[in-house]
Amino acid sequence: MASWIRALVSRTPQGADAEGGAQRRDLSGAVGVAIVLIVALLAAFAPLVAPHDPNAQDLLGRLKPPGWRSPYTGAWFLLGTDHLGRDVLSRIIYGSRVSLFVGIVSVAITAALGTLLGLAAGYYRGFTETIIMRCVDLVMSLPFMLLALAVIGITGPGLQNLILVVALTRWARYTRVIYGQTLSYAQKEFVEAAQALGSSNSRILFHHMLPNLLPSTIVLATLDLGFVIILESGLSFLGLGVPPTISTWGTMLADGRAYLNNAWWMGTFPGLAIMVTVLGFNLLGDWTRDLMDPTLRV
């Protein structure tokens, strides 16, 4: 009886902890989904949501604090104005469009390229495996920011070149993960059965193996979106991102660094926008990983 009571007592906290852990993961996932959904809606409906034209200048209303109301037009500026009299809130809303567009498009290209190369290297082996994986080692051995700066320096700043930078520097991470999983799945019975039935290599790869590898690609892509947003903001901060005429969070940070003493809101609010958005994607990525990995379900 005593041993049975000790076993019951020792198991109860574990069950409670497991249930509490699942609830915390669900809560953090819900917060991540809410943040990403809000940012996506603001980006999609920026012309309807933004209170002002993000590029409209008013030199008489420059460097006004949050909550300032123009005595000339009666318009409110909830997050203040910058050094050219532009509305900070409107520029943040329009800046979300650039960050999300660069993040989603570049990650989609990178994930597709890395997944296909990982499949080819893990399935065909031999010469194909050697060439692909040595390229992976080469890319991953280079300092990431240095490689990005080198590509931007050669191609020049711009939206398309920024997407190209991410595609050229982030594919190796996907390839290495998918390569390892492809090696494992290639030894599974369903793959050997398909080979015995005479299925073509393309059918085995895309019909039998790829659906089992997609969850890993989706998790990696979700987690990578936050990093790409930081990368885009960092390159724009250095003047190597999109043109200065386009509202981005990185250029807003660059403009605000010279006015931190007397106009703190110019850099603070864009920085908070980056932080909250990246946090939302990280929470969403963690929740997606827990959802798709059976070993993490309790």
Other Cβ atoms within 10 Å of 7 Cβ, number? 10
Domain count, the chain: 1
Please state, for a pLDDT cut of 70, what percent of the chain lies above it: 91
Q: Give the separation between CA 219 and CA 285, rounded to whole angstroms.
A: 6
The model carries a pTM of 0.83
| pLDDT for residue 294 | 53
**Amino acid occupying residue 104:** I
Q: Domain for residue 176, yes or no? A: yes
Residue 243 has pLDDT above 80, yes or no: no
Question: Has residue 16 been placed in a domain?
Answer: no
Residue span of the structural domain in which 125 resides: 43-54+86-296
CATH number at residue 275: 1.10.3720.10
Report if residue 29 sits inside a domain.
no
* 1 assigned to some structural domain: no
Task: Examine the pLDDT at 219 and tell me if it is beyond 90.
Answer: no
The pLDDT of residue 238 is 82
Give SS3 for 293.
coil
Q: Which residue has the higher pLDDT, 195 or 179?
A: 179
> What is the average per-residue pLDDT within 41-65?
90
* Residue carrying structure tokens 């790409």: 228
Whether residue 22 is contained in a domain is answered as no
Domain contains 32: no
What is residue 111's predicted lDDT score, i.e. its pLDDT?
Answer: 92
Residue 113 within a domain:
yes
Q: Is residue 246 part of a domain?
A: yes
